[in-house]
Amino acid sequence: MSIPCRKAIVNNTEINVAPLETVSLRLLLQKDEGERIKLYSAARSLGFFYLDVSDSKPYLADVERLYSVTEQYFAQSEENLLKDFRMDDEFRGYKGGNNWGSLEILRDDVISSEVPLPDIIESDSATVQRFISASHEVSHVILGELSKSLWPDSEHHLEEKHHPKKRNNSSLKVYRGPTLENLADVRDNTHTDGGSLTLLYTDKWGTQVELPWNKEWAWVEAKPGHAIVTVGDTLQALTGGLLYSCRHRVSQPVGGFEERWAVTYFFRPENDTSLVPL
């Protein structure tokens, strides 16, 4: 099914805005059937949707705090940042280049307290813990409601591969990804997310999705009080392709330098989950 795009103007440039559905976390928690159907439809068609979390004020306050923590973290010297670089570790620590950086913190490491947080974040460890715990719970709510639509007679459920106590690589990942002076210098980073669900918080244009019905790129608007949720390859595989893992990338609509911060939660399956249908 093809859904038309809205147009928006950014710095005198007209752009296509991706037609994302909005699903309410409050209504999902109330087991509202209409909301569950909307969630299922969004996860099947585009695999990208907004989750309205505007009722969860303490959670949103933690997201705001994490933007500041991210900014402080990346204001450190290169030498300090490199102390958090972990060679050959796909999921942990600092990664970066000339004008971008990311820091990834695994939920399992936070729960076990075996791996210390970077020094500059230590004083915000309670915020990190609350964000991880709440994001993991939110992901489970989505998983549970999707399972009800996928298997109404409860034959299977996605939670089978997401036991909260089994080891998994779910993580908080924060980004510094400033926009570039020259649009032509932006490099292509098209990908799908490998995990189960991604919750993305950002405050600027940057995310683009490839619309599955016409293969055109459309911009995802950042909306206050809303997570941008992505269905990942794992859910696509576990459901035999019923749910859709959408190709997306990070770019910028126009040239010009501007700092851009993103706070994401990667909800991933139990380690060693095979990417085959349940």
Ligand X SMILES: O=C(O)CCC(=O)C(=O)O
Q: How far is the CB of 198 from Fe ion (least distance, A)?
A: 6
Q: How many residues at the interface with Fe ion, by CB under 5 A?
A: 1
Q: Whose CB is nearest to Fe ion?
A: 193
Q: What is the 8-class DSSP label of residue 191?
A: B
Residue linked to tokens 């290169």: 78
Asked if residue 200 binds ligand X (CB under 6 A), the reply is yes
232's contact among ligand X, Fe ion, none, with CB below 5 to 8 A by partner kind, is: none
Q: How many residues does the chain have?
A: 278
b/e code 90-105 from CB counts within 10 Å (16+ = b): ebbbbbbeeebbbbbb
Looking at the Cβ atoms of 124 and 193, the one nearer to Fe ion is 193
Strands 48-52 and 22-24, by their bridges, are parallel
206's contact among ligand X, Fe ion, none, with CB below 5 to 8 A by partner kind, is: ligand X
Q: How far is the CB of 51 from ligand X (least distance, A)?
A: 15
Q: Which two tokens stand for residue 181?
A: 């002076």
**139-178 footprint of ligand X as x/- string (CB under 6 A):** ------------------------------------x---
- The whole-angstrom separation of Cα 54 and Cα 176 is 24
Asked if residue 24 binds ligand X (CB under 6 A), the reply is no
Q: How far is the CB of 227 from ligand X (least distance, A)?
A: 12
Q: How far is the CB of 102 from ligand X (least distance, A)?
A: 8
b/e code 109-143 from CB counts within 10 Å (16+ = b): bbeeeeeebbebbeebeebbbebbebbbebbbebb
49's contact among ligand X, Fe ion, none, with CB below 5 to 8 A by partner kind, is: none
Q: Contact region for ligand X (CB under 6 A) — 5-13, 123-131, 141-149, 193-201?
A: 193-201
Long-range contacts, stretch 85-93, CB < 8 angstroms, 24+ apart: 91/169, 91/171
207's contact among ligand X, Fe ion, none, with CB below 5 to 8 A by partner kind, is: ligand X
Asked if residue 264 binds ligand X (CB under 6 A), the reply is yes
Q: How far is the CB of 191 from Fe ion (least distance, A)?
A: 6
- The whole-angstrom separation of Cα 208 and Cα 216 is 10
Q: Contact region for ligand X (CB under 6 A) — 76-84, 104-112, 141-149, 199-207?
A: 199-207
Q: What is the dihedral of CA 253, 254, 258, 262, to 10 degrees?
A: 10
b/e code 178-200 from CB counts within 10 Å (16+ = b): bbbeeeeeeeeeeebbbbbbbbb
Q: Which of residues 175-214 bind Fe ion (CB under 5 A)?
A: 193
Q: Which residues contact 274 (CB under 8 A, 6 or more apart)?
A: none
142's contact among ligand X, Fe ion, none, with CB below 5 to 8 A by partner kind, is: none
Q: How far is the CB of 269 from ligand X (least distance, A)?
A: 16
User: Do residues 214 and 12 touch, judged by C-beta distance below 8 A?
Assistant: no
Task: By CB under 5 A, name the binding residues for Fe ion.
Answer: 193
Task: By CB under 6 A, name the binding residues for ligand X.
Answer: 175, 193, 198, 200, 202, 206-207, 248, 250, 262, 264
